[in-house]
Amino acid sequence: MSEGSVRTTAQLAEAARDPVPAIAGIAAAPVTERARPNAAAFAPVAWARANLFSGWISTAVTLALIYLIARWAIGFFDWGILHAVWTVPETATGPDASACRDAKGVGACWAMIGDKYRFILFGRYTYDEQWRPAIVVALFIGLYAISAMRRFWRKELLLIWIATLTAIGVLMWGGVLGLTYVPQDSWGGLPITLILSTFGLALAFPLAVLVALGRRSTQLPAVKALCVLYVELIRGVPLITLLFMASVMFPLFMPAGFNPDKLLRAQVAVILFAGAYLAEVVRGGLQSLPRGQYEAADALGLSYWKKTSLIVLPQALRLVIPPLVNTFIGFFKDTSLVLIIGIFDLLTAGKVAITDPVWQSYSTELYLVLAAIYFAFCFVMSRYSHGLEQEFSRTVRR
Amino acid sequence: MSGAVIDPRQAPIRAAPKKALSLSWSDPRFRNIVWQVVVLGTVALIVWYLVQNTTRNLAARRIATGFAFLGRTAGIPIGEALIDYDPSISTYGRALLIGLLNTLKVAVVGVVLATILGTLLGIARLSKNWLIARLSAIYVEVIRDLPVLLQLLFWYTALQGLPTPKNSFHPLPGVFLSNRGIKIPVVEWETPFWWALAAFVVGVIGTVAWSRSATRQQEATGVRPKVWPVALGFLVGFPVLIWGALGAPFAVEMPVLRGFNFTGGATVSPEYSALTLGLVIYTSSYIAEIVRSGILAVPTGQWEAAGALGMRSGTVLRKIVLPQALRVIIPPMTSQYLNLTKNSSLAVAIGYQDIVSIASTTLNQTGQAIEGIAAIMLVYLIISLSISLLMNWYNARIALVER
């Protein structure tokens, strides 16, 4: 975050130097009238004069915006904190939400979240066993954190991924090590979102590398055509159609009697979808590698697979890590689409939570909480990929 | 010509002698052919296996394949349709066509609005005013990090939370905001409007012709004749004149509250509003970033050089910066337009009847899963290809012409 704000300040300084914004017509102060650094002036005042009140239009816009922000912030504070209902009394028939009903329109009803948070996070997973999905979420976060650290970018990382994903499977299903078996139908909430996106990425990645290599191939026109067809077909249609295919057409494709679980089918759809997008990302990496690298490998007499695995991929994949993270953010958000085919991910669990007659009219509160969860994951990842991008571009320039 | 090749670099490169294909693993060409046969064979085998299963399953479920169901009466109630539709007589084919039109309605309006909002936000993020730049940055960061489906659901619930028609908001005369949608007045369409429209088209052609002749004159004499008065006359004056000559009919139909709902005027349904609003807000955050990086990609020297030539800032933006920025902007913008169109399929989650929604109702009623999904895929592929072709054509038109 701090790096981000430093960058922005530098950018703003740059923006202040070049005439783009003035032309853009918002802060249309003539260049000559710009406040000059004055040795006697107090620094924040000088800064404010240069960046907030540099002309009469700029001043007017600033004042109007400050007024609007203040009004909105006060309103939100009133609604979200001052007049909010944090807890409601528990009765024999369930929570008594009359306090929330009285505060409707004036204050938020956070009591709903307090009552339902375990359902939102873990869905219909056996209540007494919900420590297992909680550990799974922690494992996922740990896996992301380790993968993000440069010093773990080695072959052993693959083993860590396999081990963690296996542990996640064991924890979710149970049935071994004294854990009770929990069928897939009753999984739900945040773990499903994480499973769909992470397994989707992990399993789509090898596929994507193969497809990208196939698409770059000059020697195998038939394979190339096949790869182009796959990538363009998948990228041309919305994810929804693939999910529909998984839920409606998949049973038709399989031999009679073989009917895999809905979650598994959706996972296959996500993998196929992710494969096409990742293939394009990987292809970008392959293309940005200088031709000399390929020619040098050829000159050494390396075979195609040796050249690819020893020379090309290690360099190309490093380059694509930032766009890879960005694509992952996309998948993470897009897994929410499984709502439409009725899979219990975080968003679906939230929507089901407010079908409870007691809490029916408090969807705003719910959506704000869900938004905060999604935002926390995506924001951290996007900051990370941004930092990495900056670092890489520095290295390349040197 | 004869014997003129002195420079060896200009001598034609000798092609390697052609060798016959040898059936040996050490011949790369032979290897390549074998690999391709293996890959294609595997894919064909998988496809054959799936087709076998599918035909067997379809036979077992007594589902007839083919598109004959398109001619049958649909019976799907459709809330909003751009063409006439009656569930008791209209066919599935027509219902799907309405779905397609509804998808296009969202996509076209969404693309236009998202481009405008995104461009404004992108420029605002470069503003010298710190507050504007910061707010725009926060908007972009927050909106991009939230799933679009969550945003759509949020807007839909928010619009449903509006008061009933009786207590509706009434911001402008004739405009009502309620949980039944947005009511707006409509102008009654009469024949003179068609003529005015035709006059407008003629005006566009005339303006283009005049602007071209102005360019020719500028190239010949260095002085550009004024274009805007003529353009104004052609584009506004001429249609208004025609409309006035035909009696200047102008009747507005105002929505009026009768009982529990409105009569008259036109309705923008809450589903459509929520979908368009959500998609525009989501996509504009991406477009803002594209526009920002496009403008930053134009080197400062270009601004300075144009300034040194004595151009005014508006002219610099129009003639120097935008043409260069557009080259960077167009390709990623194309993929955002495609994303918006594909995301419009989320309509099904909030009950707007787009192609996906109607096709999935159809396949639930008829059991024609393969045909239904094939129809959806075909529609999106055609839309994607058209947008790509259009934008590629535009991109080629504005591309840098190098020596």
Report pLDDT for B267.
79
3-state secondary structure of B306: helix
Which residues from B are below 8 Å from A245, CB to CB? 373
Choose among B112, B166, B31, B374: nearest CA to A233: B374
Report pLDDT for B1.
45
Q: Alpha-carbon Rg of chain A, whole angstroms?
A: 27
Q: Which tops the pLDDT comparison, A302 or A41?
A: A302
How far does the CA of residue A16 sit from the closest CA of chain B (Å)? 6
3-state secondary structure of B365: helix
Chain CA centroid to CA A234, Å: 20
Place of tokens 């363009």: A232
User: Is B83 exposed, middle or buried (CB count within 10 Å of its CB: 0-12, 13-18, 19+)?
Assistant: exposed
Q: Flag whether B356 is in a domain.
A: yes
Report pLDDT for B162.
79
Residue where one domain finishes, among candidates B62, B77, B105? B62
3-state secondary structure of B268: strand
Residue B373 and residue B282 in one domain: yes
Residue B284 and residue B386 in one domain: yes
User: What is the pLDDT confidence band of residue A121, given thresholds at 50, 70 and 90?
Assistant: confident
Residue B325 and residue B287 in one domain: yes
3-state secondary structure of B88: coil
**Total tally of structural domains belonging to chain B:** 2
> DSSP per residue over A60-129, as a string?
HHHHHHHHHHHHHHHHHHIIIIIS-B----EETTEE-THHHHHHTTTS-BTHHHHHHHHHHHHTTS-GGG
A170-185 mean pLDDT: 78
Report pLDDT for A23.
41
Report pLDDT for A343.
85
Tokens representing B328?
């960077």
Tokens representing A15?
């923006």
Q: Is A375 part of the contact surface with chain B (CB cutoff 8 Å)?
A: yes
Phi, psi of B44 (to 5 degrees): -60, -40
> Running DSSP on this structure, what letter comes out for residue B181?
E
A68-97 mean pLDDT: 81
With DSSP H G I counted as helix, E B as strand and the rest as coil, what are the percentages for chain A, rounded to 5? 75, 0, 25
Residue B275 and residue B354 in one domain: yes
How far apart, in Å, do the first and last CA atoms of chain B sit? 28
Report pLDDT for B50.
86
Where along chain A do its domains lie?
2-82, 118-397
> Which of A66, A249, A370 faces B150 most closely, judged by CB atoms?
A370
Express as a percent the part of chain A with pLDDT over 70. Answer: 88
CB contact set of B387 (below 8 Å; sequence gap of 6+): B334, B337, B338, B341
Q: Is B307 part of the contact surface with chain A (CB cutoff 8 Å)?
A: yes
A374-382 mean pLDDT: 90
> Running DSSP on this structure, what letter comes out for residue A342?
T
- Does A254 score more than 50 pLDDT? yes
- Please answer whether residues A243 and A313 qualify as being in contact, where contact means their C-beta atoms are separated by less than 8 angstroms: no
Q: Quick check: A337 and B295 CB within 8 A? A: no
Which residues from B are below 8 Å from A15, CB to CB? 126-128, 133
Residue B296 and residue B393 in one domain: yes
Helix (H) or strand (E) holding B256: strand B256-258
Q: Flag whether B281 is in a domain.
A: yes
Q: Flag whether B26 is in a domain.
A: no
Q: Flag whether B169 is in a domain.
A: no
Q: Which tops the pLDDT comparison, A175 or B119?
A: B119
Chain CA centroid to CA B233, Å: 31
Residue B357 and residue B296 in one domain: yes
How far does the CA of residue A223 sit from the closest CA of chain B (Å)? 6
Tokens representing A339?
């709502």
Domain of B58? 33-62
Task: Return d(Cα A206, Cα A162) in angstroms, integer.
Answer: 14
Instruction: Name the packing angle between helices A190-216 and A321-334 (round to 10°).
Output: 130
Q: Is A249 part of the contact surface with chain B (CB cutoff 8 Å)?
A: yes
Q: Flag whether B28 is in a domain.
A: no
Q: Flag whether B275 is in a domain.
A: yes
Residue where one domain finishes, among candidates B14, B44, B62? B62
> Running DSSP on this structure, what letter comes out for residue B23?
S
Task: Return d(Cα B118, Cα A12) in angstroms, integer.
Answer: 19
Burial A222-259 (b: 16+ CB within 10 A, else e): bbbebbeebbbebbbbbbbbbbbbbbbbbbbbbeeeee
Task: Return d(Cα B369, Cα B65) in angstroms, integer.
Answer: 10
3-state secondary structure of B114: helix
Q: Flag whether B182 is in a domain.
A: no
Question: Cα dist. B348→A36, B222, B272, B281, B361 in Å?
Answer: 56, 58, 11, 19, 10
CB contact set of A356 (below 8 Å; sequence gap of 6+): A116
Q: In chain B, which stretches have pLDDT less than 70?
A: 1-19, 400-403
Partners of B175 in the beta sheet? B172
Residue B96 and residue B50 in one domain: no
Question: Cα dist. A209→A279, A282, A312, A331, B92 in Å?
Answer: 6, 6, 11, 18, 42
> Which of A20, A51, A244 faces B360 most closely, judged by CB atoms?
A244
Task: Return d(Cα B335, Cα B391) in angstroms, integer.
Answer: 10
ipTM of the complex: 0.81
Top-ranked range on mean pLDDT: pick from A146-150, A300-304, B50-54, B109-113: B109-113
- Mean pLDDT computed over every residue of chain A: 80
User: What is the pLDDT confidence band of residue A19, given thresholds at 50, 70 and 90?
Assistant: very low
Q: Is B128 part of the contact surface with chain A (CB cutoff 8 Å)?
A: yes
Report pLDDT for B11.
61
Tell me, which fold does domain A118-397 have in CATH? MetI-like fold (1.10.3720)
Residue B283 and residue B374 in one domain: yes
Report pLDDT for B402.
58
Taking CB atoms and an 8 Å cut-off, how many pairs form between chains A and B?
A: 194
Helix (H) or strand (E) holding B172: strand B169-172
Chain CA centroid to CA A126, Å: 27
Chain CA centroid to CA B339, Å: 9
Antiparallel, parallel or unpaired: β A94-95 and A90-91: antiparallel
How far does the CA of residue A139 sit from the closest CA of chain B (Å)? 22
Task: Return d(Cα B139, Cα B133) in angstroms, integer.
Answer: 10
Q: Is B386 part of the contact surface with chain A (CB cutoff 8 Å)?
A: no
How far does the CA of residue A64 sit from the closest CA of chain B (Å)? 11
How far does the CA of residue A7 sit from the closest CA of chain B (Å)? 13
Task: Return d(Cα A314, Cα A316) in angstroms, integer.
Answer: 6
Which residues from A are below 8 Å from B148, CB to CB? 333
Report pLDDT for B282.
94
Residue B308 and residue B363 in one domain: yes
Choose among B301, B352, B353, B350: nearest CA to B324: B301
